[in-house]
Amino acid sequence: MALPFSAKGAFSYPSYPSYPSYPSYPSYPSYPSYPSYPSYPSYPSYTGVFYVWCAGLRA
């Protein structure tokens, strides 16, 4: 009975070393470049200017 348990432990643990492959995901920190998208909130200002401009034309 001791052999089956040791075999299960041996097979189960080797599977975990596969997880160290996930440290390759730190490549995702390149995505912090996406914070450049917060520049898009500047577009609402353009829409505001556009509406004001239209209002000026209508006036």
pLDDT in tens, the chain (59 residues): 455 555 555 555 555 555 555 555 555 555 555 555 555 555 556 677 777 787 888 76
**pTM of this structure:** 0.24
Residue 20 included in any domain: yes
CA atoms within 13 A on the CB side of 18: 6
> Of 36, 37, 56, 39, which is closest to residue 48 (Cα–Cα)?
56
CB burial of residue 28 (10 Å; 0-12, 13-18, 19+): exposed
DSSP tag of 1: -
Domain that holds residue 28: 8-58
Residue 16 included in any domain: yes
Total domains present in the chain: 1
Helices (H), 1-59: 2-15, 43-58
Residue 17 included in any domain: yes
Amino acid at 3: L
